[in-house]
């Protein structure tokens, strides 16, 4: 999981999305380990969305407030 805290990434949209991707990956792993397959699936979908947003915002450069329409 990322070493950055939520406070570290609050002003950076790409870093925030990457942080969400990291924590949802960990939560999905925990859910899967306890047999919560539907919850793990939903968390995996959230992780994928966060990763797409992180990549999209990163490619737009500094100052991008959000990823915009997809």
Q: Give me the residues of the chain with pLDDT under 70, please.
A: 1-11, 61-70
Can you give the pLDDT at residue 67?
46
Q: How far apart are the first and last CA of the chain?
A: 27
Can you give the pLDDT at residue 59?
80
- Inter-residue contact 17 to 24 (CB < 8 Å): no
Tell me the domain boundaries of the chain. 22-61
Can you give the pLDDT at residue 38?
98
């Amino acid at each position: 999981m990322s070493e950055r805290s939520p406070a570290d990434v609050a002003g950076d949209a790409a870093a925030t999305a990457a942080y969400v991707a990291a924590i949802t990956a960990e939560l999905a792993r925990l859910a899967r380990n306890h047999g919560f397959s539907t919850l793990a699936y939903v968390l995996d979908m959230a992780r994928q969305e966060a990763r797409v947003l992180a990549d999209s915002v990163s490619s737009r450069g500094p100052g991008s407030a959000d990823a915009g329409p997809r």
